[in-house]
Amino acid sequence: MSKIAQDFGIQEALDRLGIKSLNNGTSTGSNNFSSGEELASYSPVDGALIGKVRTTTKEDYEKVMDAATSAFKIWRTKPAPQRGEVVRQFGDKLRELKEPLGKLVSYEMGKSYQEGLGEVQEMIDICDFAVGLSRQLHGLTMHSERPGHRMYEQYHPLGVVGIISAFNFPVAVWAWNTALAWISGDVCVWKPSEKTPLCGVACQNIAAAVFKENNLPEGISCLINGDYKVGEFMTHDKRVPLVSATGSIRMGKIVAQAVAARLGKSLLELGGNNAIIVTPDADIKMTVIGAVFGAVGTAGQRCTSTRRLIIHESIYDKVKAAVVTAYKQLRIGNPLDQKNHVGPLIDTDAVKMYQQALYKVVEEGGKLIVEGGVLQGTGYESGCYVKPAIAEATNTFEIVQHETFAPVLYLLKYSGDVENAITLQNGVVQGLSSAIMTNNLREAERFLSTQGSDCGIANVNIGTSGAEIGGAFGGEKETGGGRESGSDAWKIYMRRQTNTINYTTELPLAQGIKFDL
């Protein structure tokens, strides 16, 4: 165990989460088994080895699916409020283990400890939301056009839900899906990112304990580990009616095609190229706070991170100066140390992509006004720490059109009215999160209108980063069109059924059709 890990109690956190030096990476509840190769997890904080898991083989996967499909037959018969009670207990376990799980998220992924705690709190919040929802999985009752008939609709569990999550939110996104799937009567098979496997093991340990305490089948919560090939087990499996995948657009297109080929359902949460529009009526102080956190929070590795700042020409220099000044105050370093604002990127491959983006923006004619670079020396031995950078650019640059998962912010200038800014904001293939900073009511409403932002999330006077549990989370265009978390996102985890009951002695046909025998 490294010095940083010792100083910040990582071993104690691992112990409380039931993680040993080598954990099997495949499990059905607490039944752990794996016959695949070892997969090591190294911390981007200091480059130290945290632990290892074994990857899931096809034979292992078949055992998982046998357990999951068997568990579904039992779990679906439990009344939804009873399922909600189990989810409530899971939320309480998360409350007890919030500190160690938050530390593991921070150490294995690299986000700040406060963000790690915040991510676990999102898990707790979605459990609370799901508990209430377990008593509200209702359909509609409709009047039939045929006398003596009653019509209504209801929702039934789908079956096995496959979840593929990304490294940047190694626990929360799984919980968003799982809590809703569980109260819907589904069972879950989860493949966490191969970059954060121990977070998956920790969550599985917590869930398994809850199901065991309730004498419920272990297959309700299953874990598999490995690279994209393991994910393909689920995407091509007809026994998995829904695959929820979070990651890059490239990955999402592959998953969507594979699932669609077997006429399955996919829930996709893919890339974002999020912008904040800053109008002449914006509050500059609020703008700086929203833009800076949005751009550098989680070291720019959020799908909702702010990539573009679209500023009106009349205030461009003023806003630029304020943001540049704020960047000078950023502290980069060990994310477990709460004095630091920015932690490391996930690995050295991410660092290379960051460097390529900075090179590309200059090559295309842009100008770096806050120069980036890779940090070296004491405290930066992992090679994953970089400086948040700002570049002046235009929306037509190829690099600006792509999502770089790193703290690179592009400043774009617009003239005229807010419609021009909205055109720039919408002028990318991604459509996740968006925001406008303005105290002008007409501008705000124009931004939120049918002719405004084309994103799944549109905010006024807050940034692009982050979302509340109560609202449906997701985006349009090449972001995938999926919705998770709040509102009526639960419906995708269930199958819809329309029912008609005839309580007469006659059989009238719809639309008055006569078919006399």
Helix (H, G, I), strand (E, B) or coil at 38: strand
Taking the C-alpha atoms of residue 106 and residue 170, their distance in angstroms, rounded to an integer, is 10
Taking the C-alpha atoms of residue 433 and residue 410, their distance in angstroms, rounded to an integer, is 16
Cβ-based neighbour number of residue 337 at 10 Å:
16
| AA letter at 505 | T
Out of 303, 443, 455, 484, pick the active-site residue: 303
Taking the C-alpha atoms of residue 250 and residue 242, their distance in angstroms, rounded to an integer, is 19
Query: Can you list the pairs that 252-257 forms with residues at least 24 positions away whose Cβ atoms lie under 8 Å?
Result: 252/478, 252/480, 255/164, 255/231, 256/480
CA-closest candidate to residue 86, choices 122, 32, 31, 127: 127
Cα–Cα distances in angstroms (integers) from residue 53 to residues 35, 39, 76, 167, 171, in the given order: 10, 5, 31, 16, 17
Is there a catalytic annotation at residue 303?
Answer: yes
CA-closest candidate to residue 32, choices 165, 197, 183: 197
Cα–Cα distances in angstroms (integers) from residue 27 to residues 120, 167, 213, 225, in the given order: 22, 20, 17, 9
Helix (H, G, I), strand (E, B) or coil at 12: helix
Is there a catalytic annotation at residue 38?
Answer: no
Out of 218, 269, 403, 443, pick the active-site residue: 269
Taking the C-alpha atoms of residue 349 and residue 444, their distance in angstroms, rounded to an integer, is 39
Token pair of 28, please?
């059905």
Alpha carbon 210 to its chain's center: 24
Please give the positions annotated as active site.
Answer: 269, 303
